[in-house]
C-alpha cells in the first residue's frame, strides 16, 4: 500500500491555507451558500446506495486515502443493462473532510480521463453524494488479478511469452500517458490489473500533469502529500525532487524485473537505501528475460536519473524487439 507520510492532521487545512484551495460542491443545491470546508459533523457514514443510484455490494480494495467497492448501477439496471456492475472509489471518512483529498481524487479523475487507451482503466464519472458529503469516482469494474496477487501465485516469475504479453501493453499505456503529458507517480504491481479484458494500468491518484497540461486543475501543494511507495519510487522522488517520466520508468522497470524472475531487483528496499548499499553491483538479468532485453531494463533501473537514459516507449520497443539470432533464423526460413 502507498505510504502516506504526513499524519492526518497535516492534511486538514488551516483557515489560512484553506483560502488557497479549490473546493467542490459538497452543499445540497437548495442551500444558499456553498459549504466551504466541510465540518466534522457534515461527513456522514457510508450509505448502502450512493447518490441514489449506486448500490454498494462489496469492498474490492482499500488504499491510502480511500476504498474501492464493487457496486451496481441501479439506473443502468432499470434500463435493462445486462452488466450494470461498476467499481467505485470513494475517500474514507477521515479524508472526506479534507478539501485537498477531494481535489486529489478529482485530479485522479481528470488525469485518467485524458487517457483513452485500451490498457488504461476507463473511468465513468466524478460525483458527490450530497447526503454523506463524499466525493467518489465511478469506473469500469475490472475482473482479474492485480500483478502483486499474480506474483503471489507465480513466485518464480512468468515465462517470457506471458511476461511479454503483460510488459508490452503496460509499457504502451505508460508511453501513451507520457505522450499525453500525464505522469503516473505510483507504478507498482498493485496498480496494474491483468483483467479478463487485458492489462489495465490504473490508480493515477499520485499522478500529475506536465506543465501546461490541464492548467485548470486545482493547484495542490503536493509536497504535503509525500506519498510515494518506497520500494518502487525512484531515489530522486524520495529525496523530494518533482515527479518525472523518468521516475515512472524506474517504477515500471522494478515491476517488470519482478515479473521476470519473481524477485524485486533491490529486495523491495527503498531505492535510496538500495543505492547507498550499492545493490546495483549484485543486479543480474532475471531468469526469464531474453538477453537482448536486459541492457534496456538495466538502464531503466539506474538509481541516478541522469543515467536512466531510456523512455517508456524505448523500453517497450526494446522488449518488443526480437533478438538478432531469432531475426536471422526467421530471415533464413
Ligand atoms: N476498477 C476496479 N475494478 C476492480 N478492482 C479495483 C478497481 N480499482 C481498484 N480496484 C482494487 O482496489 C485496490 C485499490 O485501488 P487503488 O489502487 O485505486 O486505490 P488506492 O487507494 O490508491 O490504493 P494504494 O494506496 O494501495 O495504491 C486495487 O489494488 C484493486 O485491487
Ligand atoms: Mg493503488
pLDDT in tens, the chain (333 residues): 454 444 333 444 444 343 333 233 333 333 333 433 433 435 667 899 999 999 999 999 987 778 999 999 999 999 999 999 999 999 888 787 787 888 889 999 999 999 999 999 999 999 999 888 899 999 999 999 999 999 999 999 999 999 999 999 999 999 999 999 999 999 999 999 999 999 999 999 889 999 888 887 765 655 555 678 889 999 999 999 999 999 999 999 999 999 999 999 999 999 999 999 999 999 999 989 999 999 999 999 999 999 999 999 999 999 998 766 666 666 666
159 and 303: one domain? yes
User: Are 316 and 203 part of one and the same domain?
Assistant: yes
- Kindly report the backbone phi and psi dihedral angles of residue 52, in degrees, each rounded to the nearest multiple of 5, phi listed first: 65, 15
- Tell whether 57 is covered by a domain: yes
CA-proximal residue: ligand 1, atom 9 (nearest): 68
Which residue from 105, 140, 189, 203 has its CB within 8 A of the most atoms of ligand 1, so it is best to mutate? 203
Q: Domain span at residue 58?
A: 49-139
For the CA of 146, the nearest ligand:
1
Burial class of residue 109, CB neighbours in 10 A (0-12, 13-18, 19+):
buried
8 occurs within a structural domain: no
- 303/274 same-domain check: yes
Q: Is 120 in the pocket of ligand 1 (CB under 6 A)?
A: no
Q: What is the pLDDT of residues 269-299, one digit of tens each?
A: 999 999 999 999 999 999 899 999 999 999 9
pLDDT one-digit tens code per residue, 152-199: 999 999 999 999 999 999 999 999 999 999 999 999 999 999 999 999
In which residue are the cell numbers 517497450 written? 316
Q: Are 215 and 99 in the same domain?
A: no
Contact between 42 and 133 (Cβ < 8 Å): yes
What pLDDT, on the 0 to 100 scale, is given for residue 302? Answer: 98
DSSP string, 60-92: EEE-SSEEEEEEEEHHHHHTT-S--EEEEEEE-
Shared domain for 219 and 126, answered yes or no, is: no
In this structure, what CATH number is given to the domain that contains residue 126?
3.30.200.20
| pLDDT at residue number 318 | 95
Q: Do 203 and 227 touch, CB atoms closer than 8 A? A: no
203/249 same-domain check: yes
Q: Which atom of ligand 1 is nearest to the CA of 64?
A: 25
Q: Which of 83, 109, 139 is the last residue of a domain?
A: 139
Pocket test for ligand 1, best of 2, 54, 61, 205 (most atoms within 8 A of CB): 61
Report CA(232)–ligand 2 centroid distance (Å): 12
- Counting the structural domains of the chain, the total is 2
Whether 62 is covered by a domain: the verdict is yes
CB of residue 142 inside a 6 A radius of ligand 1 = yes
Q: 194 forms bridges with which residues in the sheet?
A: 145, 199
CA distance 225 to 64: 11
* Catalytic residue (one of 186, 248, 304, 307): 186
266 and 159 together in one domain: yes
User: What integer pLDDT is reported at residue 182 of this predicted model?
Assistant: 96
Which of 124, 139, 154 finishes a domain?
A: 139
Across the chain, mean pLDDT equals 85
Of 88, 105, 139, the domain-final residue: 139
Q: What is the pLDDT of residue 293?
A: 96
DSSP 111-141: HHHT---TTBPPEEEEEEETTTTEEEEEEPP
Whether 26 is covered by a domain: the verdict is no
pLDDT at 104: 87
86 CB near ligand 1 (under 6 Å): no
Residues 249 and 122 in one domain: no
| Distance from the Cα of residue 130 to its chain's centroid | 27
Cα torsion angle, 16, 19, 21, 23, sign: positive
Rounded to the nearest angstrom, the distance between the alpha carbon of 45 and the centre of ligand 1 is 21
Tell me if residue 186 is catalytic: yes
286 within ligand 1 shell (Cβ under 6 A): no
Both 125 and 228 in one domain: the answer is: no
Say if CB 110 and CB 103 are below 8 A apart: no
Single pTM value for the model: 0.85
- Is the minimum distance from the CB of 2 to ligand 1 under 6 angstroms? yes
pLDDT at residue 267, rounded to an integer? 96
The answer to whether position 5 is within a domain reads no
185 lines ligand 1 (CB under 6 A): no
Ligand 1 nearest atom to the CA of residue 67, by list position: 21
Give, using CA atoms, the residue closest to atom 28 of ligand 1: 61
Asked whether residue 110 falls in the same domain as residue 207, the answer is no
Sequence-distant (≥ 6) Cβ neighbours of residue 258 within 8 angstroms: 151, 157, 189, 264, 265
Mutate-to-test residue for ligand 1 from 56, 63, 104, 225, highest number of ligand atoms within 8 A of CB? 63
In a domain, 104, yes or no: yes
Amino acid at each position: 500500500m502507498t505510504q502516506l507520510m504526513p499524519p492526518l492532521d497535516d492534511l486538514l487545512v488551516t483557515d489560512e491555507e484553506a483560502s488557497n484551495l479549490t473546493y467542490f460542491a459538497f452543499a445540497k443545491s437548495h442551500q444558499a451558500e456553498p459549504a466551504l470546508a466541510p465540518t466534522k459533523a457534515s461527513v456522514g457514514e457510508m450509505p448502502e446506495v450512493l447518490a441514489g443510484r449506486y448500490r454498494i455490494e462489496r469492498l474490492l480494495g482499500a488504499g491510502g486515502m480511500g476504498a474501492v467497492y464493487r457496486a451496481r448501477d441501479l439506473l443502468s439496471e432499470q434500463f435493462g443493462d445486462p452488466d450494470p456492475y461498476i467499481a467505485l472509489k470513494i475517500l474514507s471518512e477521515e479524508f472526506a473532510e479534507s478539501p485537498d483529498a477531494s481535489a486529489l481524487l478529482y485530479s485522479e479523475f481528470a488525469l485518467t480521463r485524458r487517457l483513452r487507451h485500451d490498457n488504461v482503466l476507463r473511468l465513468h464519472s466524478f460525483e458527490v453524494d450530497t447526503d454523506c458529503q463524499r466525493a467518489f469516482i465511478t469506473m469500469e469494474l475490472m475482473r482479474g488479478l492485480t500483478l502483486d496477487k499474480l506474483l503471489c501465485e507465480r513466485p518464480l516469475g512468468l515465462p517470457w511469452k506471458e511476461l511479454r504479453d503483460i510488459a508490452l501493453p503496460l509499457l504502451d499505456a505508460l508511453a501513451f500517458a507520457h505522450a499525453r503529458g500525464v505522469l503516473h507517480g505510483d507504478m507498482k504491481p498493485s496498480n496494474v490489473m491483468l483483467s479478463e479484458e487485458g492489462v489495465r494500468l490504473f490508480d493515477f491518484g499520485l499522478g500529475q500533469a506536465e506543465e501546461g497540461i490541464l492548467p485548470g486543475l486545482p493547484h495542490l501543494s503536493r509536497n504535503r502529500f509525500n506519498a510515494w511507495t518506497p520500494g518502487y519510487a525512484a531515489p530522486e522522488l524520495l529525496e523530494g525532487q518533482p515527479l518525472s517520466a523518468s521516475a515512472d520508468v524506474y517504477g515500471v522497470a522494478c515491476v517488470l524485473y519482478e515479473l521476470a524472475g519473481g524477485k524485486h531487483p533491490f529486495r523491495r528496499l527503498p531505492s535510496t537505501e538500495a543505492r547507498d548499499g550499492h545493490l546495483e553491483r549484485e543486479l543480474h538479468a532475471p531468469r526469464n528475460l531474453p538477453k537482448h532485453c536486459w541492457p534496456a531494463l538495466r538502464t531503466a533501473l539506474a538509481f541516478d536519473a541522469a543515467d536512466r537514459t531510456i523512455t517508456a516507449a524505448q523500453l517497450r520497443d526494446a522488449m518488443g524487439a526480437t533478438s538478432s539470432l531469432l531475426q536471422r533464423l526467421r530471415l533464413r526460413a
